[in-house]
Amino acid sequence: MSAQFPVDGTKNLDALAKTASELGFEIVDIAGFLDLVDQQAKEQRGALSALNACARDMTEANTDVSHLVKGLSAIADKSRRDVRTSVMLVRNVGDKTREVAVWVNAVRDRTDTVSDTLRAVTENNSEIASIAAQVNTLAINAKIEAARAGDAGRGFAVVADAINDLSQKTRTAATKITENIENLTNWISELGKEAQTVAESASVVLSQSGETDTALSRMEATISEEHAQSTQIAAQSARMAESFGRLTPAVKHIDQAVQMTMQGINDTHSRVHKLIDQSERIVQLSAGMGGETSDAHFIVMVQRTAKAISTRLDDAIAKGAISMAALFDRNYTPIPGTDPQQMMTASTEFLDRFLPEFQEAALEYDPSIVFCAAVDTNGYLPTHNRKFSQPQRNDPVWNMANARNRRIFDDRVGLKAGRNTSPFLLQVYRRDMGGGQFATMKDLSAPIIVAGRHWGGLRLAYTYS
């Protein structure tokens, strides 16, 4: 005995179909929200990963800086010691230089005294030479007088010769003494000049050594200050290392929490998709059982149009307008310079001529219809409605909304519509309109069968009511 529906069974079935449809809308809305949360979680995870990477990089950089600062501090400390040693050496050299300068000045004074003495000796030697010349003259005169005296003056002549010889030697010695004194005087004069030059150089050295001492003292102060600053930097670097040590585990903990959240979102998303499938199944079953909903007339229309397309494609194949190989070509060739990417197949140009007759007419059926377009089993949409088949511009956002032909829509809704072989499939989805804009719509599809082979499906999208 077959089961009998109660009198109000039809109304209940209609209410069930309507409730299932509304439930599908709510579930899709939740799914959209989960998509948004999932996207935000992925972005947050990406940001956390970047933050974690930055923290690692900064920790490594801080470690390197710490090592460099320690090395710099050691170098500054050594430089400070070296500068102090240099200051002491310069000061010692200055003291020695001053002693040398004093000694050189004393030598210069002594050369002046020696020069005065040599001048006095030269004068005395000149007097000796003069006296020797006078004695020589007297000896000559005495010798002449002794010669006149004859034998009586012979002894005096011998003495006169001896005196003459002595005067000659005295004069010769005086001449040599004069020459030697002149050489000594010249040497002493040169020594005095050199002493003067050395004294002037010593004065310059003394002046410069003082300036060097001052410069080294300033350098010592600067290096000491740098050493103090490097010590402070090392201390701050240690504090930063400690902070990064606390930050890294915190970021890791947050990352783990986000991962768990994302996993929960993914699990929930999968369950929501199952709910969507179940709600769609309820709508189909209720419609198949005779339940009336606001979608009933759309179901009839999309089935009728899909069947008409299938019949006409059978005719086109039979007449040779297009081959089965070309119609079922799945080699999608990218069109260069398109963004979003558009594709061509062997059947695209034929379908551009064939499909508008059916697809454009469907737009006139009801004002709530947004588009009507055929897709193959991979979600490839060769020919869209004219209003969505505009030539692309240099604006990907505008293209996303207005140049939707020749593109692959392999999202969940697009693939299910293209691969569905049931009499019809009713889906509720959020349509991406580009620029971050979405519209909640219904997608009703019916299969397109050509020569007994499933080509794809005809999608009819309309606003939710």
| Whole-angstrom distance, CA of residue 348 vs CA of residue 203 | 101
Q: Which residue has the tokens 């010889």?
A: 165
pLDDT bucket at 386, cuts 50 / 70 / 90: very high
Residues 127-162: tens digit of each pLDDT: 776 776 777 787 677 778 777 777 766 676 777 677
Closest CA to 441 of 416, 413, 421, 461: 461
Please state the rounded mean pLDDT for residues 105-132: 70
pLDDT at 304: 97
Q: Which residue has the tokens 């508008």?
A: 356
Distances (CA, A) of 329 to 9, 350, 382, 383: 48, 12, 12, 15
Position 4 pLDDT exceeds 50: no
Q: What angle do CA 53, 54, 57 make, to 5 degrees?
A: 85
Give SS3 for 429. Answer: strand
| Whole-angstrom distance, CA of residue 411 vs CA of residue 402 | 18
| Whole-angstrom distance, CA of residue 140 vs CA of residue 146 | 10
Residues with Cβ within 8 Å of residue 382, at least 6 apart in sequence: 345, 347, 348, 351, 352, 355, 374, 376, 405, 406
Mean pLDDT, rounded, of the chain: 77
Domains of the chain from N-terminus onward? 60-248 (1.10.287.950), 292-463 (3.30.450.20)
Q: What angle do CA 65, 68, 73 make, to 5 degrees?
A: 120
Neighbours of 353 (CB within 10 A): 10
pLDDT at 34: 61
Give SS3 for 81. Answer: helix
Q: How many CA atoms lie within 13 A of 435 on its CB side?
A: 7
Residues 422-446: tens digit of each pLDDT: 999 988 877 665 556 677 789 999 9
Buried b (16+ CB within 10 A) or exposed e, 195-224: beebbeebeebeeebeebbeebeeebeebb
pLDDT at 104: 67
pTM of model > 0.85: no
